[in-house]
Chain A
Amino acid sequence: KAGVTQTPRYLIKTRGQQVTLSCSPISGHRSVSWYQQTPGQGLQFLFEYFSETQRNKGNFPGRFSGRQFSNSRSEMNVSTLELGDSALYLCASSPFPGVGIDTQYFGPGTRLTVL
């Protein structure tokens, strides 16, 4: 069974640009969550999608947005990039929302560098 895949794996952008990251969940998983990982803050929750609907949103500015498609694939977008957006962006999938018995499986992440 293929794991969670994220594309691209590495990305370099400049301040003010926008970026779109993609996540393909494990087959059969309908819930996708996004996290931002930085050395100073650790992993911080961005948002969670299930059946194309955003269920939860973390404490990030409106420049961070996402969506989920009917095949459960998800994208996140960051507009007007700032230097502080440099981070590893992790996607995780699970069969259903939340993390109870259905444990999340994480992808390898997209390393975004903002210059």
Chain B
Amino acid sequence: AQSVSQHNHHVILSEAASLELGCNYSYGGTVNLFWYVQYPGQHLQLLLKYFSGDPLVKGIKGFEAEFIKSKFSFNLRKPSVQWSDTAEYFCAVNSGNTPLVFGKGTRLSVIA
């Protein structure tokens, strides 16, 4: 069965700091990878997704993620965070038409 690990439970950064959130998955076949964000009091929404092609994926709000197949990783990055990036971030994986499997999430707090 697929599983997703997000190693950072809570990350605290100052504004303008760079962000990298780790995500590792366990599945040897072809996967689709996602990062979702849940801002306080808001719906879960898609940040970016990887299906195939260029392993460096750019999403909304300046976020990007890199798929490294040999490391089973799909880390999320942003060069300079803002206070408005405070949210919970979820990595997810699926294969073909299987349901999404989510990581347990990483809470990001950005302080001024």
A residues lining the B interface (CB < 8 Å): 3-4, 33, 35, 40-45, 48, 56, 58, 90, 92, 97-101, 103-104, 106-109
Contact B104 A100 (CB under 8 A): no
A97 in contact with B97 given A43-B102, A106-B44, A107-B43 (CB within 8 Å): yes
Q: Contact check: which of A35, A43, A48, A100 meets B96 at CB < 8 Å?
A: A100
Contact B99 A56 (CB under 8 A): yes
Q: In the complex, which range does the number of interface residues on chain B fall in?
A: 20 to 34
Closest to A48 in B: B99
23 CB contacts below 8 A, A to B, read A33-B99, A40-B104, A42-B105, A43-B90, A43-B100, A43-B102, A45-B99, A45-B100, A45-B101, A56-B99, A90-B44, A92-B44, A97-B97, A98-B96, A98-B98, A98-B99, A99-B94, A99-B97, A100-B32, A106-B36, A106-B43, A106-B44, A108-B43
